[in-house]
Amino acid sequence: MLNRQNPRFRTLQLISAILAVAIGSFLLGGYFARAGATGALTGTEVQKSLAGVGSKPLGGTLSDTSLQFSQFWELWKLLKLKYYQDASEEKMFYGAMQGMADSLGDPYTTFFEPVIAKEFSDSLKGEFEGIGAEIGVHNSQLQIIAPLPDTPAEKAGLMAGDYILDINGTSTEGMSTDEAVSLIRGPKGTDVTLKIGRLPVAVKSSTTKKSTTTAAAAEPNVKDYKITRDTIIVKSVNLTWPKDNIAMIEVTNFNEDTDTTFKSVVAEALAKNPKGIILDLRNDPGGYLDRSTVVAGAWVGDQTVVSERRKGKIVDAYQGSGDPVFKDIPTVVLVNQGTASAAEIVAGALQDYGLGELIGMKTFGKGSVQDYSDFSDGSAIKITIAEWLTPKGRSINKIGIQPDIEVDRTADDYDQNRDPQLDKALEWFDKSTTK
């Protein structure tokens, strides 16, 4: 989930500023030397002239005064002098940035090198080249959060919840989502092979009514999927009519065009006076917060959609935007294991206010907010700054949202083009109108 773009990275700014000034000093020194104004500074002179380089950090940046930045520079110097091959300063620099982000142990706090930052930004604009699958880390394992509709990933048979065991023969153990994205994405027409582990459907015990999983069934089925990359153009909102008087609005993700496209779809649906609305959030990995408040606003109006909690305290609340045009129309919200982040915010709000019956499977549990900030060199930092709570104060993060009616859609259902979750939604409308 992305939020505002305000800078919240003091420590990162510090090191970035130090190295940026060093590079700038060399360049400017060279320029003035050629112009005859002054001589170029030596490396030692540059370092002495930099504020913050030495035994103490810049004021107000560290609470632990025992930490000395001179050690950082000493390590830099030793690596440059003693490493048996030529060390790339660019790799060392970006590696240090990545290391700081990784040290927090949060899979959603990530530093992006310039190329990956551009790919990440492009994906939120709705077009990129790859296979069309959102991925994330769940239970310390790289997973498919959701294959996007009508993409190579979906056509190849990838499903929400699939484990990615290796990428082109490279193990994903300990791999971050951003490393995985950089390996999976690539030019249109090229191939990538994913080793996928898929847990079989739980086996029902003959002695109990509850669904249990046997030891044998707990072992994942492992299979290689060779997928040809393509240009992925993500249309974030689609309108269909599974029945003449039931409008189904599918939101595939919350990207830059979701608010305008959603409003257009809403107007189109209302023009036909629907008797029921299905909001399909299955395999929706999320996106921008402000787009989620637009979608939720069609039901909740200006009521609170989600609250933001930092360090145990509620610091902000976000209201829906727009008129609650669907408030009095019976609504079903379809969710599954691939419903994440902004999609969970919308589902949770409608469930809390009793404005939507949730049908499907428990959602992914990505209920934290990330702040995204760009650096001048094209790199960027995404930092988890808070967790989300539903209007009734329920935490989403690592927990997910339990549907009101649990219905699975198995791999066999996909293969046979069956949709028991949609069938249950239509059945729910039939029953609600006969009460």
The backbone region for 287, taken as left when phi is positive above 0, alpha when psi lies in -120 to 50, beta otherwise, is left
Q: How far apart are CA 142 and CA 140, in angstroms?
A: 7
Record the tokens describing residue 296, joined without a space: 């939720």
Q: What is the DSSP letter of 269?
A: H
Is 366 part of the annotated catalytic residue set?
A: yes
Residue 156, token pair as written in the block: 């190849």
46: tokens are: 């540059």
CA separation, residue 128 to residues 121, 123, 181 (Å): 10, 6, 12
How many other C-beta atoms can be found within 10 angstroms of the C-beta atom of residue 307?
18
263 is catalytic: no
**Residue environment code for 381-412, b if the CB has 16+ CB neighbours within 10 A, otherwise e:** bbbbbbbbbbbeeebbbeebbebeeebebeee
Among residues 16, 292, 307, 341, the one annotated as catalytic is 341
Both structure tokens of 282 = 């299955």
Sheet holding 331-335, edge to edge: 237-243, 246-251, 276-280, 331-335, 357-360, 405-406
Partners of 230 in the β-ladder: 130
Catalytic residue among 162, 352, 371, 382: 352
* Catalytic status, residue 284: no
Q: Which tokens go with 52?
A: 């913050």
- Find all residues with CB under 8 Å of 124, minimum gap 6, and list them: 2, 255, 256, 287, 288
Helices within 125-176 (DSSP H only): 152-156
Instruction: Give the span between the Cα atoms of 179 and 120, in whole angstroms.
Output: 12
Q: Whole-angstrom Cα distance, residue 38 to residue 33?
A: 5
Catalytically annotated residue among 366, 368, 379, 382 = 366
Contacts of 59 (CB under 8 A, 6+ apart): none
So which residues are the catalytic ones? 341, 352, 366
